[in-house]
C-alpha cells in the first residue's frame, strides 16, 4: 500500500475526471458470491472469500456526494448509536438494495432521501465506483455524484444522528490515509482510517474514499 504524492487538481478537474472514468454499468460482483471484490490486500481478500462461502451476499448502495462549493466537500453521516450494525460509525448515505429499487443508483438516492432528506433535485449522479466488500457480507456499490449547494437536510434520527461535510482535499490527500491492521481468524488484514477533527472515519467508509482517490487522482 504505497502512498503517492497528492495530486493537485481543481474542483472542475475532479468532476471531469470522474465523468470520464466512471460508468453506470453494474458489476456482476455485486450479487455473485464467486466474484471476490479486489482489495489489493491478501488478508482482506482471503477474509472476503471466507465470508462469501459462509453467508449470503448482501447488495448495498451508497452515495458519495461531492458538494460543489468553491472548495468541494464530501457529505457524510454518523449512524445512530442504537442500530444493530455499525452503530455510531461514520458512513455515506445508503443501505441495502431493495427488490423495488430499479438500480443501485435508485437505491442510493432513495436512502439519501430517507436518511437525511437530501432532495434528488440537488443530485447529479456521475457513475459507480468498484464494488467494495465488507466482513459482514455486504457488497457495496458506491455512486459518485455532484451535489448542488443550497440543499436543506431533514435528519431521520431513527437511522442517523448527524450529517456533516469534510473537505475533499483532506480526504483525497494520501498523507491522511492511515493504514491499520487487525486479526481475522489468524490472518492479518489491513484497513484505512482518516481521522478528521472529532470524527473518526474508518473501515468501509475510509476504504471507499481510498478507492475514490485511486480512481480519480492516480493516473
The answer to whether the CB of 172 falls within 8 A of the CB of 144 is no
User: Would you say residue 18 lies in a domain?
Assistant: yes
pLDDT tens track for 88-145 = 689 999 999 999 999 999 999 999 999 999 999 999 999 999 999 998 899 999 999 9
Provide the pLDDT for residue 7: 53
User: Would you say residue 4 lies in a domain?
Assistant: no
- Count of the separate structural domains present in the chain: 1
pLDDT band for 41, please (50, 70, 90 cuts). confident
Closest to 64 measured CA to CA, from 158, 165, 149, 133: 165
For the ranges 40-54, 83-97, 197-211, the lowest mean pLDDT is seen at 83-97
User: Would you say residue 1 lies in a domain?
Assistant: no
> What mean pLDDT comes out for the span 37-42?
89
User: Would you say residue 201 lies in a domain?
Assistant: yes
- CA dihedral sign of residues 37, 42, 46, 51: negative
Radius of gyration, CA atoms only, the chain: 16
Provide the pLDDT for residue 8: 65
pLDDT tens track for 14-25 = 999 999 999 999
User: Would you say residue 49 lies in a domain?
Assistant: yes
Is the predicted pLDDT of residue 9 greater than 90, yes or no? no
pTM for this one?
0.92
> What mean pLDDT comes out for the span 69-84?
85
Q: Which residues span the domain enclosing 106?
A: 11-216
Bridge partners, residue 77, by sequence: 91, 163
User: Would you say residue 79 lies in a domain?
Assistant: yes
Higher-pLDDT residue of 116 and 40 is 116
Percent of the chain with pLDDT over 70: 92
Closest to 189 measured CA to CA, from 82, 42, 58, 63: 42
Percent of the chain with pLDDT over 90: 79
Is the predicted pLDDT of residue 180 greater than 50, yes or no? yes
User: Would you say residue 68 lies in a domain?
Assistant: yes
pLDDT band for 85, please (50, 70, 90 cuts). low
We report the CATH number of the domain holding residue 178 as: 3.90.79.10
Provide the pLDDT for residue 84: 55
Phi, psi of 151 (to 5 degrees): -70, 155
Cell of 184: 481475522
Provide the pLDDT for residue 10: 83
Total length of the chain: 219
What kind and span of H or E run contains 60? Answer: strand 58-67
User: Would you say residue 6 lies in a domain?
Assistant: no
Amino acid at each position: 500500500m504505497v502512498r503517492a504524492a497528492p495530486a493537485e487538481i481543481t474542483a472542475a478537474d475532479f468532476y471531469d475526471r470522474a465523468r470520464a472514468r466512471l460508468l453506470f454499468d453494474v458489476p456482476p460482483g455485486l450479487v455473485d458470491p464467486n466474484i471476490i471484490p479486489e482489495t489489493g490486500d491478501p488478508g482482506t481478500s482471503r477474509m472476503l472469500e471466507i465470508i462469501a462461502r459462509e453467508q449470503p451476499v448482501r447488495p448495498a448502495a451508497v452515495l458519495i456526494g461531492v458538494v460543489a462549493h468553491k472548495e468541494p466537500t464530501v457529505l457524510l453521516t454518523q449512524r445512530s448509536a442504537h442500530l444493530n450494525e455499525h452503530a455510531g460509525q461514520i458512513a455515506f448515505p445508503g443501505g441495502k438494495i431493495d427488490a423495488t429499487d430499479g438500480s443501485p443508483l435508485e437505491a442510493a438516492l432513495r436512502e439519501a432521501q430517507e436518511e437525511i432528506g437530501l432532495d434528488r433535485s440537488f443530485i447529479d449522479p456521475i457513475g459507480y465506483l468498484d464494488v467494495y466488500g465488507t466482513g459482514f457480507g455486504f457488497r457495496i456499490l458506491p455512486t459518485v455524484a455532484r451535489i448542488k449547494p443550497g440543499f436543506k437536510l431533514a435528519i431521520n434520527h431513527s437511522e442517523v444522528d448527524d450529517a456533516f461535510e469534510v473537505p475533499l482535499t483532506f480526504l483525497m490527500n494520501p498523507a491522511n490515509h492511515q493504514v491499520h491492521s487487525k486479526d481475522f481468524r489468524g490472518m492479518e488484514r489491513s484497513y484505512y482510517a482518516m481521522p478528521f477533527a472529532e470524527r473518526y472515519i474508518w473501515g468501509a467508509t475510509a476504504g471507499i474514499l481510498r478507492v475514490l482517490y485511486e480512481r480519480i487522482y492516480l493516473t
